[in-house]
Amino acid sequence: MAEIIYETSQVIKRPIDVVFNAVIDVANFEKWNPTTSVTRKISSGETGEGSEFEMKIRGFGLVKQTLEEFDRNKQVKIVPHIRMLGGGHRFIFKKLDENETQIDHEMIMIPKGFFKLFSPMMRAMGKKNVDALASCLQQYVEGK
Protein backbone atom coordinates (compact mmCIF):
# COMPACT_ATOMS: atom_id res chain seq x y z
CA MET A 1 0.00 0.00 0.00
CA ALA A 2 1.34 3.40 -0.94
CA GLU A 3 1.29 5.99 1.78
CA ILE A 4 0.29 9.50 0.87
CA ILE A 5 1.96 12.01 3.14
CA TYR A 6 1.45 15.74 3.28
CA GLU A 7 3.67 17.82 5.57
CA THR A 8 3.51 21.43 6.63
CA SER A 9 4.67 23.57 9.54
CA GLN A 10 3.27 26.54 11.38
CA VAL A 11 4.19 28.83 14.27
CA ILE A 12 1.58 29.73 16.86
CA LYS A 13 2.20 32.63 19.21
CA ARG A 14 1.23 30.80 22.40
CA PRO A 15 3.10 28.66 24.96
CA ILE A 16 3.65 25.02 24.01
CA ASP A 17 1.40 23.62 26.76
CA VAL A 18 -1.54 25.78 25.60
CA VAL A 19 -1.08 24.65 21.98
CA PHE A 20 -0.61 20.99 22.88
CA ASN A 21 -3.69 20.99 25.13
CA ALA A 22 -5.81 22.50 22.35
CA VAL A 23 -4.77 19.70 19.98
CA ILE A 24 -5.39 16.84 22.43
CA ASP A 25 -8.75 18.27 23.51
CA VAL A 26 -10.38 16.42 20.64
CA ALA A 27 -13.80 16.70 22.31
CA ASN A 28 -13.68 20.45 21.50
CA PHE A 29 -12.56 20.15 17.86
CA GLU A 30 -16.04 21.13 16.69
CA LYS A 31 -15.41 24.62 18.12
CA TRP A 32 -12.63 25.33 15.62
CA ASN A 33 -12.08 22.47 13.13
CA PRO A 34 -13.95 23.17 9.87
CA THR A 35 -14.34 19.49 8.93
CA THR A 36 -15.76 18.35 12.28
CA SER A 37 -19.33 19.12 13.35
CA VAL A 38 -19.73 16.78 16.35
CA THR A 39 -17.11 15.46 18.77
CA ARG A 40 -17.17 13.58 22.04
CA LYS A 41 -14.75 11.67 24.22
CA ILE A 42 -15.79 8.03 24.62
CA SER A 43 -13.01 6.79 26.91
CA SER A 44 -12.76 7.63 30.59
CA GLY A 45 -9.91 9.16 32.52
CA GLU A 46 -7.31 11.75 31.69
CA THR A 47 -6.63 12.36 28.01
CA GLY A 48 -3.48 10.54 26.92
CA GLU A 49 -2.17 7.53 25.00
CA GLY A 50 -5.10 5.44 23.78
CA SER A 51 -7.82 7.99 24.58
CA GLU A 52 -10.81 7.43 22.32
CA PHE A 53 -13.12 9.95 20.68
CA GLU A 54 -15.86 10.02 18.10
CA MET A 55 -15.94 12.75 15.50
CA LYS A 56 -18.46 13.45 12.78
CA ILE A 57 -16.19 14.26 9.87
CA ARG A 58 -17.42 15.79 6.64
CA GLY A 59 -17.41 13.09 3.98
CA PHE A 60 -16.94 10.18 6.42
CA GLY A 61 -19.69 10.47 9.03
CA LEU A 62 -19.13 9.39 12.64
CA VAL A 63 -15.56 8.09 13.02
CA LYS A 64 -13.84 6.61 16.07
CA GLN A 65 -10.41 8.18 16.70
CA THR A 66 -7.59 7.37 19.12
CA LEU A 67 -4.59 9.30 20.38
CA GLU A 68 -1.30 7.49 19.73
CA GLU A 69 2.41 8.37 20.01
CA PHE A 70 1.37 10.56 22.96
CA ASP A 71 4.35 12.45 24.41
CA ARG A 72 3.14 15.54 26.28
CA ASN A 73 4.22 18.82 24.66
CA LYS A 74 6.26 16.90 22.06
CA GLN A 75 4.09 14.75 19.81
CA VAL A 76 0.68 13.14 19.31
CA LYS A 77 -0.99 11.33 16.44
CA ILE A 78 -4.75 11.33 15.93
CA VAL A 79 -5.64 8.03 14.29
CA PRO A 80 -9.03 7.50 12.60
CA HIS A 81 -10.54 4.04 12.48
CA ILE A 82 -12.03 3.90 9.00
CA ARG A 83 -12.23 0.70 6.97
CA MET A 84 -11.30 2.40 3.72
CA LEU A 85 -8.47 4.62 4.97
CA GLY A 86 -5.55 4.15 7.37
CA GLY A 87 -2.96 6.58 8.65
CA GLY A 88 -3.56 9.62 10.82
CA HIS A 89 -2.51 13.17 11.60
CA ARG A 90 0.77 13.50 13.49
CA PHE A 91 1.50 16.76 15.32
CA ILE A 92 5.13 17.41 16.35
CA PHE A 93 5.60 20.33 18.75
CA LYS A 94 8.70 22.45 19.27
CA LYS A 95 9.04 25.27 21.78
CA LEU A 96 10.62 28.26 20.03
CA ASP A 97 10.39 30.55 23.06
CA GLU A 98 8.05 31.10 26.00
CA ASN A 99 5.18 32.30 23.80
CA GLU A 100 5.90 30.66 20.45
CA THR A 101 5.33 27.07 19.40
CA GLN A 102 6.10 25.38 16.12
CA ILE A 103 3.89 22.52 14.97
CA ASP A 104 5.02 20.18 12.22
CA HIS A 105 1.97 18.47 10.72
CA GLU A 106 2.20 15.10 8.98
CA MET A 107 -1.00 13.84 7.35
CA ILE A 108 -0.59 10.17 6.53
CA MET A 109 -3.21 8.52 4.33
CA ILE A 110 -3.18 4.84 3.39
CA PRO A 111 -6.06 4.11 1.01
CA LYS A 112 -7.60 0.64 1.21
CA GLY A 113 -9.82 -1.35 -1.12
CA PHE A 114 -11.91 0.66 -3.56
CA PHE A 115 -10.56 3.87 -2.04
CA LYS A 116 -7.18 3.20 -3.72
CA LEU A 117 -8.75 4.49 -6.93
CA PHE A 118 -8.89 7.94 -5.34
CA SER A 119 -5.16 8.00 -4.49
CA PRO A 120 -4.27 10.60 -7.14
CA MET A 121 -6.71 13.09 -5.59
CA MET A 122 -5.96 12.28 -1.96
CA ARG A 123 -2.77 14.33 -1.62
CA ALA A 124 -4.57 17.48 -2.77
CA MET A 125 -7.50 16.74 -0.44
CA GLY A 126 -5.11 16.10 2.47
CA LYS A 127 -3.22 19.33 1.77
CA LYS A 128 -6.44 21.33 1.67
CA ASN A 129 -7.72 19.80 4.93
CA VAL A 130 -4.44 20.15 6.85
CA ASP A 131 -3.91 23.74 5.70
CA ALA A 132 -7.46 24.65 6.76
CA LEU A 133 -7.07 22.86 10.09
CA ALA A 134 -3.73 24.60 10.80
CA SER A 135 -5.20 28.01 10.03
CA CYS A 136 -8.27 27.43 12.22
CA LEU A 137 -6.16 25.99 15.05
CA GLN A 138 -3.94 29.06 14.98
CA GLN A 139 -6.93 31.44 15.07
CA TYR A 140 -8.53 29.45 17.91
CA VAL A 141 -5.42 29.19 20.11
CA GLU A 142 -4.10 32.70 19.51
CA GLY A 143 -7.58 34.07 20.15
CA LYS A 144 -7.69 32.57 23.66
- What pLDDT is recorded for position 71? 98
Q: What are phi and psi of 113, to 5 degrees?
A: 55, -140
Q: pLDDT: is 142 or 112 the higher one? A: 142
In the predicted structure, residue 1 carries a pLDDT above the cut 70: no
Q: Domain-by-domain residue ranges, the chain?
A: 4-142
In the predicted structure, residue 105 carries a pLDDT above the cut 50: yes
- What pLDDT is recorded for position 12? 98
- What pLDDT is recorded for position 2? 63
In the predicted structure, residue 14 carries a pLDDT above the cut 90: yes
- What pLDDT is recorded for position 92? 98
Nearest by Cα to 20 from 88, 95, 83? 95
In the predicted structure, residue 60 carries a pLDDT above the cut 90: no
Task: Say which range, 4-8, 38-42, 73-77, 91-95, has the weakest mean pLDDT.
Answer: 4-8
CATH superfamily of 4-142: START domain (3.30.530.20)
What is the average pLDDT across 58-73? 91
Report the C-alpha gap between 70 and 57 in whole angstroms.
Answer: 22
Report the C-alpha gap between 107 and 88 in whole angstroms.
Answer: 6
3-state helix, strand, coil split of the chain in percent (to 5) is: 30, 45, 25
What is the average pLDDT across 109-129? 79
- What pLDDT is recorded for position 144? 60
Predicted TM-score (pTM) above 0.85: yes
Q: What are phi and psi of 11, to 5 degrees?
A: -120, 130
